[in-house]
Chains A and B, each alone.
Chain A
Amino acid sequence: MQLRINNRVHAIPPAWRDETLLATLREFLGLVGAKFGCGVGQCGACTVLLDGEAARSCLWRVADVADRDILTVEGLAGAGGRPHPVQQAWLDENVPQCGYCQAGQIMSAVALLRAKPRPNDAEIDAALADNLCRCGTQQRIRRAVHRAAARS
């Protein structure tokens, strides 16, 4: 079995096929950007893109995403490691406090901007309300999405 992640194909041995996508990304492949926060799809820390749409990697079994295009936060950067516009906006707005939720926030923002290149506040809130942040970076997240939208 294989997974196509960030435009690379990875062979997945049998011991990992019943695992969640999140566990396999983190523990087998070492792609630790997606985080475990709740395990039931409520917090969004594990968000990745499946065929371009935001998905909770803690809810997907590896065997069920074998034919999908998986994009993780590690696959966002462009040529030479140049940050993706959303990543750059997160840096410019100094968004992270503890930072643990931010990879998931960024992936949800990327999915939002693909669907709605110029979202307003209400659309940002609707798209990212299920990405929880306990530190209180919400205002900066909103600003960073606007900044990324203006740049792309």
Chain B
Amino acid sequence: MRRRTFLGLGVAFLAGCSLPVIPKRPDPTPEAALGWIRHVDGRYVLSLPRAEIGQNIATALKQVACDELGVGWDEVDLHLPATTDIAHVRATVGSDSVKDYALPLARACATLRKAVAAGRTEGVLTAEPRPIGALRAFAGRARHVGRAMPLEQADAIVRGAPVYAADTRRPGMAHGQVPRAPATPEFTSSPAAWDAAAARAQPGFVALVEDPLLRQGESMGLGIVAETPGALDRIEQALDIRWRTDGSVGQNEIDERIDIDRRLAGGSLSYDLVDEPLDRDGPWDVDLRLDVPPAAHTPIEPRAAVAEFDDTGLRMWVGSQDIFYIRDVMVRRFGLDDEQVVVHGRRVGGAFSGKTICTVELEAAVLARAAARPVKVQWTRGQEYRQGFHRPPSSHRIRARVRHGRIEDWWHGFACSHIIFTNAGLPPWLQRLTDFIGDRGVARGAIPPYRIGRRRIEHDLERLPILTGPWRGLGAGPNVTAIECAMDECARRAGQDPVAFRLAHIEDPRLAGVLRRVAAAANWDETRSPPSDGRGRGVACGIYKQMSYAAVVADVAVDNGAVAVTRLWCAHDCGRVINPDQVRAQCEGNLVWGLGMALTDGLPVADGGVAAETFAEAPVPRLDQVPPMDIVLVDNGEAPTGAGETAIVAATGAILNAVRDAIGIRPTRLPVTPADLLRSAA
């Protein structure tokens, strides 16, 4: 008896406690790709091997499939697969869906086309290697690749048909919510006292759920299940939960711990990205600071999941960038087999790297098991801020020496909290192990794409009491923004036009290409006199993940410290373009995100955590802030790469440089606010 009790506890410990589940990252194999396309009753079914998160990858991959199969648009049906439908694919992150999945899909389609042409309509095929030159989809005379096509699921979207996780309805479904202490999940918190009787007396009450699996980070929640969404709110009020929390953090602590000058004053930083010998003490021609605050992903869809247990196991409907990771977490936490957990990936209502870990999904499954009914959980906006992870704050110092019109010395030091090895997924002891190798997400984009005499590029990593992790472009957005601000100041110091100055330093011809193209599109005038009416123009450029290129020109008007972006131009090179309209859409999205980085994005920290409840405390760009945008696509036939996170690296810098051009003030803190600009002007 004692022994059985002991064993039971042991299993509960292993299943429930904090050993993290690490996402697997399999490469797409030719064999796996054959599972993405099937021939059924004279038609074809494309099981999308990527999460549809708004990049409209379903449309792009269907274009590839149609051309390679040699069939019309209406002959291929799209299927968003469950984890039991296709082989394990890795998370949809890093702008790699076209780069890494289009060719394997095309090869699979070529194999299938050949088999169908030979009269085979049943059985399993063997993958055949084919060079890209032998693929019809990339042969340059394709019917679908290279054109705009009707977007998959767009008809359902404009008609309001169910396509998202929260749109899922199941027979007998109840609604769930897991209130947590209003504190960062980095602090140990739990419900200390609550009025269960008052909660049970509420109409629509179904269950209160206490379960060790409701711990996320160090935050222990208390589960509620109710018949209707509104009853959840009434029950939570009636519960009147008093929370126990063991820590506190405010804005000043975050700012101080990430402050780059404080860190540089203490000596070298922990991670050398480039360490060429340069004089760190002599005078500098450019000495620039840029501080970037934490920012939320702010998908308009707060994360949601529906879970349902039955005799066979667990079924889930989720809006995740990694349905196989969700499955793996469920398998581990509930002690099930892979086949007993079926996770259906639904269209994701905005992700931006934020829907990469398992949160609401586990809550839904725990509540569904406790209530013995299907349960839907959708986070509130406040939970998105308080319980989610965010773009890490970072603090940059760039110093440069300019001689004879060229950059001789470049020293960039920055401090940031973790991105890939996020504290939202890793407990401190495990994160410390990863610190031996550093965080490539934090370093992304930090090495300038310019010929520079001597470079020192170093950074620190600091686990902060708020959750930080991947955010569109990871470190590349802030890092390249800082670099491009410093390049602008170097050009001024050299007395050169910022486009010409960059071209004189650029090593990669594709980067020079987009810069020339955007300058031409915007009628960039090297001989322009400095403006005096509060209007200004700025430029910036960058390379994303050594694969995609963007350059941006921004026009701004600054009035009493208020910055309005009045027009944006972007030239973009991601190699062979499958759907030009949707590459443009990604550029537009990145420009708006760059505008947000410059002018709106930030999260307040107070009272023990992220202190935002609504869009009022965490604004995003609105329609009246978004100017006309002109996109130039450069396609010289190189292998296709990705467009999802490229232009953001140049957009923010272009806007900040335009502000500098307009009023002579170099913004040093994001987002740029009228108060900061007026203070600098005084």
Interface residues of A (CB under 8 A from B): 15-16, 18-20, 23, 26-28, 30-40, 42-43, 45, 72-74, 76-77, 83, 87, 90-91, 94-103, 106, 124-126, 128-142
Contact = CB atoms under 8 A, between A and B. Distances in A.
Interface stretch (B3-11, B151-159, B448-456): B151-159
B591 interface: yes
A102 B54 contact: no
B159 A138 contact: no
A42 B347 contact: no
Contacts of B378: 36
B80 to A, nearest CB: 13
Given A19-B230, A34-B160, A45 B54 contact: no
B626 A74 contact: no
B348 interface: yes
B381 A39 contact: yes
A-B CB proximity, top 9 nearest? A33-B160, A100-B349, A98-B54, A136-B592, A136-B589, A97-B54, A99-B157, A138-B626, A73-B160
For the residues of B in contact with A, the DSSP-based class is: loop
B565 to A, nearest CB: 12
A24 to B, nearest CB: 8
Given A94-B151, A98-B301, A137 B589 contact: yes
B230 A20 contact: yes
Given A31-B160, A34-B160, A42-B615, A134 B154 contact: no
Given A32-B164, A98-B54, A137-B585, 10 more contacts: A27-B175, A35-B164, A40-B381, A45-B300, A73-B158, A98-B299, A99-B349, A102-B157, A129-B622, A137-B589
B588 interface: yes
Nearest to A42: B615
Given A43-B615, A132-B620, A141-B623, A15 B159 contact: no
Contacts of B300: 35, 37, 43, 45, 98, 100-101, 132-134
B151 A96 contact: yes
B616 interface: yes
Given A83-B159, A137-B585, A23 B229 contact: yes
Nearest to A84: B158
Interface in B661-680: none
Q: How large is the interface on B (under 10, 10 to 19, 20 to 34, 35 or more residues)?
A: 35 or more
Contacts of A23: 228-230
A138 B592 contact: yes
A96 B620 contact: no
B473 to A, nearest CB: 13
B616 A42 contact: yes
B160 A19 contact: no
B53 A98 contact: yes
A31 B153 CA distance: 17
B421 interface: no
Contact of B299 (A100, A102, A124, A141): A100
Contacts of A32: 160-162, 164, 166-167, 169
Q: Which among A31, A77, A106, A132 has the highest number of chain B CB atoms within 10 Å?
A: A132
Contacts of A45: 300
Contacts of A73: 158-160
B163 interface: yes
Contacts of A100: 164, 299-301, 349-350
B423 interface: no
13 contacts: A30-B162, A32-B160, A32-B166, A33-B161, A35-B164, A42-B614, A73-B160, A98-B301, A102-B157, A126-B624, A130-B622, A136-B621, A138-B592
Given A42-B615, A99-B163, A91 B150 contact: yes
A133 B163 CA distance: 18
A94 B347 contact: no
Contacts of B530: none
Interface string B629-667: 100000000000000000000000000000000000000
B169 A135 contact: no
Q: Which among A91, A94, A136 has the highest number of chain B CB atoms within 10 Å?
A: A136
Contacts of B203: 15
Nearest to B630: A139
A142 B228 contact: no
Interface in B402-456: none
A72 B7 CA distance: 55
A16 B511 CA distance: 58
A83 to B, nearest CB: 7
B566 interface: no
Nearest to A45: B300
B162 A97 contact: no
Interface in B44-70: 53-56
Interface string B571-599: 00000000001100100111111000000
B227 interface: yes
A42 B381 CA distance: 11
Contacts of B153: 96, 99
Nearest to A61: B230
Contacts of A16: 228
Contacts of B592: 135-136, 138
B302 interface: yes
Given A43-B300, A96-B158, A135 B622 contact: no
A36 B302 CA distance: 8
A65 B362 CA distance: 36
B204 interface: yes
Nearest to B162: A32
Nearest to A93: B581
Contact of A94 (B162, B302, B581): B581
Nearest to B169: A30
Contact of B160 (A27, A74, A139): A74
B352 interface: yes
Q: Which among B228, B348, B588, B623 has the highest number of chain A CB atoms within 10 Å?
A: B623
A19 B231 CA distance: 8
Q: Which among B157, B351, B378 has the highest number of chain A CB atoms within 10 Å?
A: B157
B30 to A, nearest CB: 31
B154 A97 contact: no
B380 interface: yes
Contact of B349 (A35, A76, A77): A35
Given A136-B592, A136-B593, A94 B154 contact: yes
Nearest to B148: A94
A31 B151 CA distance: 22
B83 interface: no
A129 B381 contact: no
Given A27-B228, A34-B160, A139 B350 contact: no
Contacts of B352: 134
Given A94-B585, A98-B300, A137-B585, A15 B228 contact: yes
A39 to B, nearest CB: 6
